[in-house]
Amino acid sequence: MIGFDPSYMLYVFLPTMLLSLLVQLYLKRAYSKWSQVRNGNNLTGAQVTKALFDRTPLDEIGVEVVPGDMTDHFDPRTNIVRLSQGTATRPSVASMAIAAHELGHVQQYQTGSALIKARNFLVPAVQFSPMVSYVAILAGLLLNITGLFWIGILFFSLMVFFTILTLPVEFDASRRGMILLGEAGLLTSNEDRSGAKTVLRAAALTYVAAAVTAVLQLLYYISLANRRR
């Protein structure tokens, strides 16, 4: 089985586990620090969101509060920004940065970002590709049918491409968020600016780790298929 292959453990499982652990520790450290530092305007994440709608060209949409920390996201299906309770209620640098990032996603949709269009184009495919890929890969292994194994790899490649495409989308949302904060006059100090960048960089690294994991997994499947020729 794949999980007991020494090469899988050495080149995929252990590196990705280590990378994920380091990224999560970095994110936790950054968030822990900057969630305790008040932003220059003493605004909660919810107030930052309102200010950005009022002071920038963004069209205002609905905002909801959801339980937890770092559960923030923009739902394009309902056109609603959902802020975690921690982000919505704390007047911290972290809350300001996270709220701005989510509105960066809103701006991507409202301006018709090419990156968003490209990722959305793949959404229907990646909704069923995980099941198809794993079934085909497992069946190809058990039945020793190389062609079926390669079909699984093809569908897995769609997921990998989607994961990689997510990187520029997330980095662009953070870039847009920082610009929106500047336009709204909410970056009042170097501490605001550097802290916001640190939080957004740490959050973005989680997507980098996911992309690296997906690529290594794909390369392993390809090497396994080549070995079975």
Q: Model confidence over 98-123: pLDDT tens digits?
A: 999 999 999 999 999 999 999 988 88
Q: 2 pLDDT exceeds 80?
A: no
Find the angle CA(18)-CA(21)-CA(23) to the nearest 5 degrees: 110
DSSP 3-state of 168:
helix
Q: Answer yes or no: is 21 within a domain.
A: yes
C-alpha pair distances (Å), 191 with each of 5, 29, 67, 89: 48, 16, 28, 20
pLDDT category at 39 given cuts 50, 70, 90 is very high
What would the pLDDT profile of 149-171 be if each residue is shown by its tens digit? 999 999 999 999 999 999 999 99
Q: What is the pTM of this model?
A: 0.91
The mean predicted confidence, pLDDT, of the chain is 94
**Beta strands 80-84 and 62-66: pairing type?**
parallel
Q: With contact defined as beta carbons under 8 Å apart, do 173 and 104 qualify?
A: yes
Q: 47 pLDDT exceeds 90?
A: yes
Q: Which of 60, 64, 102, 191 is catalytic?
A: 102
Q: Answer yes or no: is 54 within a domain.
A: no
Q: 3 pLDDT exceeds 70?
A: no
Q: What is the pLDDT of residue 4?
A: 63
Q: Answer yes or no: is 73 within a domain.
A: no
Axis-axis angle for helices 190-227, 146-183 (nearest 10): 170
Distance CA 101, CA 72 (A): 9
What would the pLDDT profile of 52-78 be if each residue is shown by its tens digit? 999 999 999 999 999 988 899 999 999
DSSP letter assigned to residue 10: I
pLDDT category at 1 given cuts 50, 70, 90 is very low
Element (H, E) at 90: none
Q: 193 pLDDT exceeds 50?
A: yes
Averaged pLDDT, 5-33: 94
Residue 170 annotated among the catalytic residues of the structure: no
Q: What is the pLDDT of residue 229?
A: 65
Q: Answer yes or no: is 168 within a domain.
A: yes
Q: Which of 218 and 128 is assigned the larger pLDDT?
A: 218
Q: With contact defined as beta carbons under 8 Å apart, do 35 and 95 qualify?
A: yes
Residue whose token pair is 């070995």 = 227
Averaged pLDDT, 4-25: 92
Q: What order do you get walking across the sheet with 73-75 strand by strand?
A: 62-66, 80-84, 73-75
C-alpha pair distances (Å), 50 with each of 54, 102, 179, 194: 6, 12, 16, 22
pLDDT category at 37 given cuts 50, 70, 90 is very high
Q: Report the candidate in 141, 204, 128, 205 with the shortest Cα–Cα distance to residue 8.
A: 141
Range of the domain at 119: 2-38+92-227
Q: Answer yes or no: is 179 within a domain.
A: yes
Q: Which of 97 and 124 is assigned the larger pLDDT?
A: 97
Q: Answer yes or no: is 58 within a domain.
A: no
In a 10 Å sphere around its CB, with 0-12 CB exposed, 13-18 middle and 19+ buried, how is residue 121 labelled? exposed
Helical segments of the chain, H only? 6-8, 14-34, 45-55, 85-89, 93-110, 114-143, 146-183, 190-227
Q: How many domains does the chain have?
A: 1
